[in-house]
């Protein structure tokens, strides 16, 4: 399952048209468009709205073996041309300073960029980073359901010091549409990776053993799945993982132990 998350309809329209997604009439919390193993949700403007939309749709599809995510939208830039497209490699929340690091596919043709997420619109353009209003909320939420490798942000420059097109909805759609073939290539690579990860989903037998060890909240179960998939992808055996956590007395301790194992493994990459 690939889920596109856009703040506005004009940002989502090129994706909806390209993949021929159909509007769902069964949902009222957010506008939702469906296709074959693909969804597009319109979150509304702002990081809180984006986080809420991601959490809502993830809960609706928690039966999926794996979910990949793309936050698609426009951004401001102090130095880049209107229409330039980027895959974010760092997202900074301007209010909290919290940083997230999306991991682009190795075959990505889009250049990387950092992005500062603001709570209010601004024309204080910076030379070294893009800025938007959704990416940090998107990352904060989706990383609770999927790994960083399956959580990507694609931003198209709509505003700079010379030109400001971000308030013109048709121009926003046109800018994204101009990049739709490259965006599609990135999406296809992500879908292929997600299919591989889905094949590493925890077996029913292992899952029963895991959740029998302690009482897990739904959020903790989601985190448990993410950590398990990562470790299985690193060729760690299920028996080894279960042995490592067999002495843990609480859900929080189990998750902390798995996070430590994941961290230790990533240090060796």
Give yes or no: residues 30 and 113 share one domain: yes
Of 198, 233, 259, the position where a domain reaches its end is: 198
Q: What is the pLDDT of residue 203?
A: 66
Q: Would residue 31 be called left, alpha or beta, if left means φ above 0 and alpha means ψ between -120 and 50 degrees?
A: beta
pTM: 0.78
pLDDT mean values, one per 10 residues, the chain (269 residues): 97 98 88 95 97 95 89 93 94 94 80 94 80 96 88 94 85 96 94 79 70 85 81 78 86 91 67
CB 121 within 8 Å of CB 159: no
Give yes or no: residues 132 and 239 share one domain: no
Note down the domain range covering 35: 2-198
Instruction: Mark 166-203 as b/e (b = at least 16 C-beta within 10 Å).
Output: beeeebbbebbbebbeebeebbebbeebbeebeebbbe
Q: What is the pLDDT of residue 201?
A: 64
CA distance 58 to 67: 8
Of 178, 198, 218, the position where a domain reaches its end is: 198
Q: What three-state secondary structure class fits 163?
A: coil
Give yes or no: residues 184 and 95 share one domain: yes
Q: What is the pLDDT of residue 269?
A: 46
Give yes or no: residues 117 and 191 share one domain: yes
CA distance 102 to 136: 11
């Amino acid at each position: 399952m690939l889920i596109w998350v856009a703040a506005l309809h004009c940002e989502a329209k090129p994706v909806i048209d390209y993949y021929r997604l159909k509007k769902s009439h069964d949902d009222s919390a957010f506008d939702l468009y469906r296709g074959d193993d693909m969804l597009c949700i319109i979150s509304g403007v702002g990081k809180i709205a984006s986080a809420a939309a991601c959490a809502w749709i993830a809960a609706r599809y928690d039966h999926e073996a794996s979910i990949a995510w793309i936050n698609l939208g426009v951004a401001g830039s102090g130095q880049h041309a209107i229409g330039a497209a980027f895959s974010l490699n760092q997202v900074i929340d301007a209010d909290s300073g919290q940083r997230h690091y999306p991991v682009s596919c190795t075959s990505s043709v889009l250049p990387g960029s950092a992005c500062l997420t603001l709570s209010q619109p601004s024309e204080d353009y910076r030379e070294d980073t893009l800025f938007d209003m959704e990416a940090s909320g998107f990352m904060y939420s989706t990383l609770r359901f999927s790994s960083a490798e399956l959580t990507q942000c694609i931003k198209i420059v709509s505003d700079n010091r010379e030109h400001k097109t971000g308030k013109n909805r048709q121009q926003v759609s046109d800018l994204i549409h101009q990049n739709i073939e490259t965006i599609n290539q990135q999406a296809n690579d992500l879908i292929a990776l997600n299919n591989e990860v889905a094949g590493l989903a925890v077996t029913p037998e292992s899952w029963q053993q895991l959740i029998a060890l302690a009482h897990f909240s739904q959020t903790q179960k989601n985190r448990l799945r993410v950590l398990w998939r990562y470790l299985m992808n690193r060729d760690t055996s299920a028996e080894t993982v279960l042995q490592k956590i067999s002495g843990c007395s609480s859900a929080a301790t189990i998750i902390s132990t798995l996070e430590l194992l994941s961290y230790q493994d990533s240090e060796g990459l």
